[in-house]
Amino acid sequence: MDFLKTMAIAASGLRAQAGRMRIISENIANADSTPSSPGGLPYRRKIPTFQSEVDRTLDVKLVELGKTRTDNSEFRLKYEPGHPAADKNGNVRYPNVNSLLEMTDMREAQRSYEANINVISATRRMLQRTIDILKT
């Protein structure tokens, strides 16, 4: 039964980190997007959150992706008077996305994802060895 709990916990971690990577990818994809109208607001960075969930059938705590929050920090301003999205002062608002920070977060999410895969692989090997021992 502990093998099943281990697999459920690791699988929930995989789902949560996959969702986190999807949100980070969206941030990176929109890092240089501009508003469609002069003086408009650009893409606003999204922040993934996690929450705990209890699986009552297995009696374990799992992790899941929570609500996605928006980062309310200031937008980047660039003076580009010829740009179609420039305001009356010639400034264009760019998303509040820092690509370096997003890449760091992506790497951390990837490592967490890989750690959960390793847990599942190790659990499967232990289960297979247990079955092999019981066969003999």
- The model's confidence at residue 5, banded by pLDDT at 50, 70 and 90, is very high
When divided into structural domains, the chain yields a total of 1
Which DSSP category does 42 fall into?
A: -
| Tokens found for residue 9 | 């916990």
Query: DSSP character for 113?
Result: H
The structure tokens listed for 101 are 């920070």
Note the pLDDT tens digit of each residue in 11-58. Answer: 999 999 999 999 999 999 999 999 988 878 999 999 999 999 999 999
Q: Tell me the C-alpha distance between 102 and 31, whole Å.
A: 10
**Given pLDDT bands bounded at 50, 70 and 90, which one contains residue 78?**
very high
Of 4, 16, 12, give the one whose Cα is nearest residue 61.
12
What's the pLDDT score for residue 36? 85
Residue 1: pLDDT over 70:
no
Cα dihedral 87/90/94/100 (nearest 10): -170
Instruction: Show the domain range for 78.
Output: 2-135
Nearest C-alpha neighbor of 6 from the set 132, 106, 124: 124
- What is the CA 82 to chain-centroid distance, rounded? 36
